[in-house]
Amino acid sequence: MSYNLLKGKRGIIFGALDENSIAWKTAERVHEEGGTFVLTNAPIAMRMGQIDVLAKKTGSEIVPADATSEEDLANLVAKATEILGGKLDFVLHSIGMSVNVRKGRKYTDEKYDFTAKGWDVSALSFHKVMQTLYKADAMNEWGSIVALTYMAAQRTFPDYNDMADNKAYLESVARSFGYFYGKEKKVRVNTISQSPTPTTAGQGVKGFDGFISYAEKMSPLGNATAQDCADYTITLFSDLTKKVTMQNLFHDGGFSNTGVSQEVIEYFSK
Ligand code: NAI
């Protein structure tokens, strides 16, 4: 169902790789709600993914950018405001990658070049995106910036590896930048802490199938899907959440506040 919540709003959506991506579902929902946007992803992901299909479907243009490159980001922001015809109202940062995870290195055996690269892509890139927008004065007042995170930032999930540290940094950047952006430009900045979701990035985590089933059994409402996440993000981009900022918002069917569920007790009582 569409409510026209984003009518007249313009933005940038990072991270739509394929139709499972959280950013993909969000782009579809933003389009349904009347928002217009530029799609972006790393140049290499353009070749691997299907972003062209999404661009066609939503009438959007694509501007490639490696989110670790200040030059690419400056170009992206300049092009996006030009293409969309004005300053921006929303930005979605939906980017994550750990080289240690990809190469099968355990948390106790990190290769630090890999760690630094993963941190740059997954965490520092959020600061780079916001600093670029801020310096270009590219956001409208009451604009909204959202990044995606995971609860491993607060609690240990052994196989989440160095992504846990990256997410902790990402959430801190949201608070710190959110202060300055709020005070000086009335722009809000939040992170959504999403349930495990079967996407390319999600399935890269070792033991993902067990992980997602466990979360499903532990969440009173069940896991939040990518589609649910898209719906939630729309509310944060809308004018209905103007005073929500510097928050890490759990979107996980209640998982984060559940000590144990009946299903899990029964499983261990067998
Ligand atoms: P995905 O694999 O579809 O999206 C990750 C995106 O990051 C891809 O589009 C990829 O091309 C992009 N990316 C990687 N390196 C980049 C770079 N240098 N510059 C620009 N873009 C780059 O997976 P998903 O799950 O949709 O991931 C989106 C976000 O959601 C990530 O931040 C992820 O950590 C977060 N998240 C995912 C969960 C899951 O279980 N799938 C749970 C909680 C959070």
Question: Considering the domain boundaries, does residue 5 fall inside one?
Answer: no
Mutate-to-test residue for ligand 1 from 21, 125, 205, highest number of ligand atoms within 8 A of CB? 21
Q: What is the pLDDT of residue 45?
A: 87
pTM given for the model: 0.98
The two tokens of residue 208 are 């993902």
Question: Considering the domain boundaries, does residue 3 fall inside one?
Answer: no
**Given 107, 112, 160, 179, the catalytic residue:** 160
Confidence of residue 270 (pLDDT cuts 50, 70, 90): confident
**ipTM tops 0.90:** yes
**169 part of the active site:** no
Q: Is ligand 1 within 6 A of the CB of residue 96?
A: yes
What is the torsional sign of CA 4, 5, 6, 12?
Answer: negative
What is the torsional sign of CA 261, 195, 236, 165?
Answer: positive
Examine the pLDDT at 49 and tell me if it is beyond 80: no
117 assigned ligand-binding residue: no
Q: What is the pLDDT of residue 29?
A: 98
Question: Considering the domain boundaries, does residue 109 fall inside one?
Answer: yes
**150 part of the active site:** yes
Contact predicate 46/123, CB 8 Å: no
Question: Considering the domain boundaries, does residue 19 fall inside one?
Answer: yes
Question: Considering the domain boundaries, does residue 129 fall inside one?
Answer: yes
Q: What is the pLDDT of residue 47?
A: 80
Tell me the mean pLDDT in the region 54-59.
Answer: 97
| Structural domain total, the chain | 1
Q: Is ligand 1 within 6 A of the CB of residue 132?
A: no
Question: Considering the domain boundaries, does residue 164 fall inside one?
Answer: yes
CATH of the domain at 85: 3.40.50.720
Question: Considering the domain boundaries, does residue 1 fall inside one?
Answer: no
Q: What is the pLDDT of residue 26?
A: 98
Structural domain range at position 219: 10-268
